[in-house]
Structure 1
């Protein structure tokens, strides 16, 4: 039994849930369309280029959570999962997860997208362990801030090492599946890095390192 680690966006699902949640807010008139749509697209492009200021992005993306009652937020999220996310889950991703489950591996998702958005998505795959940026929640309300280390680039490594210490799991025989060059720090940490439908920079790195390259599309 080993640790099987999965990125979420554009790996287990066929798009980016962070970007799609922002677009969902725009489409439902929950945020200002002109401002939010343009900013959301810019941050996503920065992410793809590997130059995202994660703290600036989190200030932007978590602000809507502080503007609405938690019950309403959960209702919107449920609609988001049903209408936007379920159609982009991947049969091959489900099969890959089940292959590792059948082998007795410990399943873990490590994602830059915040826990509010990702927790119900990960549950669609029957995975209990999730490392994600954690929005602050006080007195029954989201504050628009985050707690701890953002789960992004080197932050994924930091959070994984903390989790390993508390879970008594190890990286012996571990694998990590990801599409993004932003995950190179974590890909280089595990025993078996796998590039999944990789972006151009990850494709090049995987080819140079001789890592497996697969598609779940």
Structure 2
């Protein structure tokens, strides 16, 4: 965590007024610096090949942040009203993406992790481990996990690449036996969150920046790497690697994958496919009975993600 703290001190405040491209670059560099870089997993390691997996809808059914938020709400970190705000904000983010509404993205960025400001990283990590076991473990797509294992068996390293906070992303990666994760990095000072991000949310171009930075650091040959995602928002990362696989793809990504000859893997069937096919957090909100609260929420909510 020392590396994360150092980046927060040097970069967190300095990027407040710079453009989106610079924030994405800073976020990617910070995430790559914080990522674990264990050696390849076999006695015949592939030193230059790797795989990068998105999390929400790709590795996991639904949105990891929703389940993380639900677990934190159960632990009284914030109120049901705040939870409704989170659902609504995430639904808009999922539908519109980074470019959909700059004002919304500014709000998300400025409010990031505000509810844990002053809390220790160790406290949130401990909560995240419990929440993963309680709410997330049973939502991992077995098919996608098998794809990741194929890379591990081939001696390649496997990283998750997600907008989820890097602490939670790393927990998911560890539980799945993967190398590590690239996620959204928060500023940490003296082991506690300040309530600010380092750069940008790990979304869209920031994911590509993180993969680029990690590839340079680990001497990976991106032409020999493979990226996996369900969303057209991840085209920068998918296009960066020599191999791209659309997993449980949204309509736009499915069309692009067909046009470009990318592999498509869909692990959804029947009713489950219909449920997962709609914006993920909105679906989770419906199943959790939170829509009424979401419609009545304050314009600016306290839950930051």
What secondary structure is seen at the aligned counterpart in 2 of 1:31?
Answer: coil
**Aligned partners of 1:153 and 1:207: how far apart in 2?**
20
Paired position in structure 1 for 2:88: 42
Report how far residue 69 of structure 1 moved. Answer: 4.2
**Aligned partners of 1:164 and 1:54: how far apart in 2?**
28
Stretches of structure 2 that go unaligned for 5 or more consecutive residues are 1-45, 99-103, 269-305
**Aligned partners of 1:54 and 1:110: how far apart in 2?**
19
Query: Structure 1, residues 63-90: CA drift from partner, whole Å, max 9, x if none?
Result: 1221534444233222211101111123
Paired position in structure 2 for 1:146: 197
CA contact (8 A) 2:111 2:196 kept: no
Report how far residue 198 of structure 1 moved. Answer: 0.9
Report how far residue 134 of structure 1 moved. Answer: 0.9
Paired position in structure 2 for 1:99: 150
What secondary structure is seen at the aligned counterpart in 2 of 1:143?
Answer: strand
Query: For 1:30-179, what aligned pairs fall within 5 Å after superposition?
Result: 30-34=77-81, 36-52=82-98, 53-179=104-230
What secondary structure is seen at the aligned counterpart in 1 of 2:222?
Answer: coil
Paired position in structure 1 for 2:233: 182
Paired position in structure 1 for 2:10: none
Report how far residue 116 of structure 1 moved. Answer: 2.1
- Structure 1 residues 71 and 162: alpha-carbon distance in aligned structure 2, compared to 1, 3 A threshold: closer
Q: Which stretch shows the higher mean deviation, 81-90 or 53-62?
A: 53-62
The TM-score with structure 2 as length reference comes to: 0.65
Query: Structure 1, residues 8-47: CA drift from partner, whole Å, max 9, x if none?
Result: 121111121112212323343321211x223212222223
CA contact (8 A) 1:11 1:178 kept: yes
**Aligned partners of 2:255 and 2:120: how far apart in 1?**
45
What secondary structure is seen at the aligned counterpart in 2 of 1:183?
Answer: helix
> 178, 183, 197: which one pairs with 2:248?
197
- Structure 1 residues 126 and 54: alpha-carbon distance in aligned structure 2, compared to 1, 3 A threshold: farther
CA contact (8 A) 1:92 1:216 kept: yes
CA contact (8 A) 1:11 1:216 kept: no
What secondary structure is seen at the aligned counterpart in 2 of 1:117?
Answer: helix
Query: Per chain length, whose mean CA-contact separation is higher, i.e. which structure has more relative contact order (CA < 8 Å, sep 6+)?
Result: 2
Paired position in structure 1 for 2:4: none
Count of residue correspondences: 216
Stretches of structure 1 that go unaligned for 5 or more consecutive residues are none
**Aligned partners of 2:93 and 2:265: how far apart in 1?**
22
- Structure 1 residues 190 and 75: alpha-carbon distance in aligned structure 2, compared to 1, 3 A threshold: closer
CA contact (8 A) 2:68 2:132 kept: no
Larger radius of gyration: 2
CA contact (8 A) 2:157 2:179 kept: no
- Structure 1 residues 102 and 3: alpha-carbon distance in aligned structure 2, compared to 1, 3 A threshold: same
**Aligned partners of 2:260 and 2:166: how far apart in 1?**
32
CA contact (8 A) 2:225 2:243 kept: yes
